[in-house]
Structure 1
Amino acid sequence: MKLNSTVLLTLILLILMLGAGSVSAFWGFTLGSAALKGVTAPDARPTPKFASSKSAKEQHTGIALLREDEILKIVKARIEGKTKAAKSSKQDDEDEETNSTKRQQEEKPLQVAEEKPQEGFPINTESEGVSLSVQSARFSGGALLLKVKMQNKGKDSVRFLYSFLDVSDNKGRTLSASTDGLPSELPANGPTYSGTVSIPTALLDDVKRISLALTDYPDQKLRLEVSNIPVER
């Protein structure tokens, strides 16, 4: 009786173990299938590679390459275009220069007419081979402008300091003046130099005549003096 109970218990345990193993196996298979759901094996076929290579080849061959003669034609056309543009620019410059020369030639008679000798001028003085000549006296831009020419025909060069230029009116009053264009040194046997002596108009309200006096610097061996320069408004 006791033996039969042991066998029965053993059988029950075996059945329970088999059942638990079966349930575990089924449950594991189910979980594995769910985990691998949607996962596919890689496509090992060579067709896509060949297709991709073919597509790349088609894209590469799609670039159009110019032939050498076409490139030479394009380069030649560009060079000719730049040459024509340069010639056109040069021609425009030449035309402008020609027109400017013509305008200058047309204006010369007017300039000559404007620079006719003023009545009572020039007024000249000379000392030790150095000459000073007042060519004209005209009002312009709020000042009296005296056009002056100087020349040294002596053997030695002569220096001047124009801040020592003495300008006075017919009443003996000293007037302030400035110079422009006159050289600080006259070379021996040199050319004629031109310049301007400017006197403010405000100083010449009741002035009829003015005088200029200039000595060389620093030796003061000569004295250039021009008197009775008429002042007309």
Structure 2
Amino acid sequence: MKLNSTVALTLILLAMMLGAGFVSSMWGFTLGHEALKGVTQPDVRPVKDIADTQKASPGKEGLAILREDDILTKVNEYISNTSKGAKPENKSKESKTENKDEPAKSTDPSDPNNQPSPEPSATEASFTDANANLKLPIKSEDRGVLLEIRSATQQGGSLLLNVTLKNQGANAVRFLYSFLNVTDEQGRALSAITEGLPGELPPDGQEYSGTVSIPSALIENAQKLSLTLTDYPDQRLQLKMSEIPVVR
């Protein structure tokens, strides 16, 4: 009798434990489900989303960086084409027109119209020469190297500075003309192209001529320019010029 009651009690306790476990698990599941409402599962394929985003926004390309040599070459070609396209003035037609409009000169010495025009005075001649030279030449010297700007002219849509270099020192000097710095009176840097100047200046005291070309479109509002040239690679030589007149 006691054995049967013990087995029955054990079964009852086991059933109660199973029921309590089931009820607690259902209750925990219900609480967890209520707490996670509105929470969605994250996308586990970020690589695909990035690829789709890149495909969906075409047209974004990297900026193309131009080389300095290519820019200078294009500017030089533009200047050359502009100078070739400039038409010379037809002076012969103008001279013929002027000859037709001018009255015939009399050979009579007593005719007042046949008197020669007076020659300009020394003061007027010096004033004319000063305007023609425009305060040129300008010189700069450092460590035995002499840089000189002898004249400035407008030609083919560019301002041409005729320059000379001379090395009276003991050692040869190398130049990299991309280091040539040209600015206006407002401090704006200007693009300049050099032609004819040597890359290495020997110490022989000989003058080497060349030109510095500056597009006229860059100096429309400029009145005076400054120029700085240094050697390469030491950059110990400093050839500086200012008050360079802009020819119109």
Q: TM-score, normalised by structure 1?
A: 0.49
The structure richer in helix per residue is 1
Q: TM-score, normalised by structure 2?
A: 0.46
